């Protein structure tokens, strides 16, 4: 398999340049004409401006406004960034060495660039603050969930750490604050089949073979609220939130379950009371047992 060429453009603001592979055939008279058709959300004038400003590159350098369409070639450019609402919380670093960084991601901060969240993401902030341009996540947390995220420092090690999460050999423990139901028997194991459809913001449970499993226990309670320990054996989208809601004790400040509520992106007043508390695993590089604990606390309890 032919190796894809590396980007001739350096990172900008902790972000890699976007890469496009041009089709193997087509009748476009120029690169500009192809990009106008291929990138309909970008105004044609903006594409021409980027070409005139040498912001679109091929493997040998910048491509001008008269650059021809070259089948099977690659181009790179930095996308225009959206206007983002600053997230007023810092990313903490729990551990750092030559191989990994374990970060404490705050509520409301996405793990990686996606959609409306680009600069305001844990990955971009850590690349910039730690000076680690090749940093990449081994897994992800929802934007509204706080706690531990494992990042890999070197590209050649990325697969080893990502495989741990894929193969479910990482022991994860979460903490959640939710109402207490005196009639709910705990601890218990919750199993269900969870489905998440593209384009629909929430997931849902359906009949069928279970694909999600969570161990739920109540650690302590006071004033009608409980501090729960959640140990997921699988990693389905919104699994913990769905399982707690299904038990009749939805997590405090959950805007998705059991009822979907809209929240403005600049409203940081009521964070979801869910925290990725611990990560434990045998390091795939050193073979050493590793265990990390979040330094964050859930406001509804502390």
Give the active site residue among 142, 167, 181, 283.
142
Which is it for strands 100-105 and 274-282: parallel, antiparallel or unpaired? Answer: unpaired
Alpha carbon of 40 to those of 44, 45, 116, 266: distances in Å?
Answer: 8, 12, 18, 29
Cis amide linkage into residue 187, ω under 30° from 0: yes
Show the tokens assigned to 277.
């508390």
223 counts as catalytic: no
Q: Which residues, 6 or more positions from 88, have their beta carbon under 8 angstroms from its beta carbon?
A: 268
Spatial separation of the C-alpha atoms in residues 81 and 116, rounded to whole Å: 9
- By C-alpha distance, which of 177, 174, 179 is closest to 248? 179
Region at 164 (left for phi over 0; alpha for psi -120 to 50; beta for the rest)? alpha
Q: Which residues, 6 or more positions from 297, have their beta carbon under 8 angstroms from its beta carbon?
A: 275
Residue matched to tokens 């045998």: 282
C-alpha count within 13 angstroms, C-beta hemisphere, residue 30: 11
205's enclosing H/E stretch is: strand 204-206
Spatial separation of the C-alpha atoms in residues 244 and 253, rounded to whole Å: 13
Which residues are catalytically annotated?
Answer: 142
């Amino acid at each position: 398999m032919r190796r894809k060429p590396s980007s001739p453009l350096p990172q900008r603001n902790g972000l890699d340049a976007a890469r496009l592979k041009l089709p193997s055939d087509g009748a476009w008279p120029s690169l500009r004409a192809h990009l106008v058709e291929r990138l309909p959300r970008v105004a044609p004038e903006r594409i021409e401006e980027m070409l005139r400003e040498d912001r679109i590159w091929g493997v040998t350098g910048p491509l001008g406004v008269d650059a021809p369409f070259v089948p099977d070639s690659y181009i790179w450019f930095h996308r225009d960034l959206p206007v983002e609402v600053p997230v007023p919380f810092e990313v903490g670093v729990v551990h750092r060495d030559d191989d990994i960084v374990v970060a404490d991601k705050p509520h409301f901060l996405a793990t990686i660039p996606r959609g409306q969240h680009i600069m305001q993401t844990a990955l971009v902030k850590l690349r910039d603050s730690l000076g680690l341009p090749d940093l990449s996540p081994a897994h992800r947390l929802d934007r509204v969930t706080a706690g531990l995220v494992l990042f890999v420092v070197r590209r050649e090690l990325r697969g080893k750490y990502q495989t741990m999460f894929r193969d479910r050999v990482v022991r994860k423990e979460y903490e959640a604050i939710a109402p207490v139901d005196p009639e709910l028997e705990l601890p218990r194991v919750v199993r269900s089949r969870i489905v998440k459809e593209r384009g629909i913001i929430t997931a849902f449970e359906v009949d069928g073979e279970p694909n999600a499993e969570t161990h739920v226990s109540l650690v302590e309670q006071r004033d009608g609220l409980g501090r729960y320990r959640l140990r997921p054996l699988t990693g389905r989208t919104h699994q913990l939130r769905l399982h707690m809601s299904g038990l009749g004790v939805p997590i405090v400040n959950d805007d998705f379950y059991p009822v979907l509520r809209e929240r403005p992106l600049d409203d940081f007043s009521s964070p979801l009371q869910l925290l990725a508390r611990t990560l434990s695993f045998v390091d795939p590089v050193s073979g050493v047992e590793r265990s990390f604990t979040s330094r964050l606390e859930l406001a509804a309890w502390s």
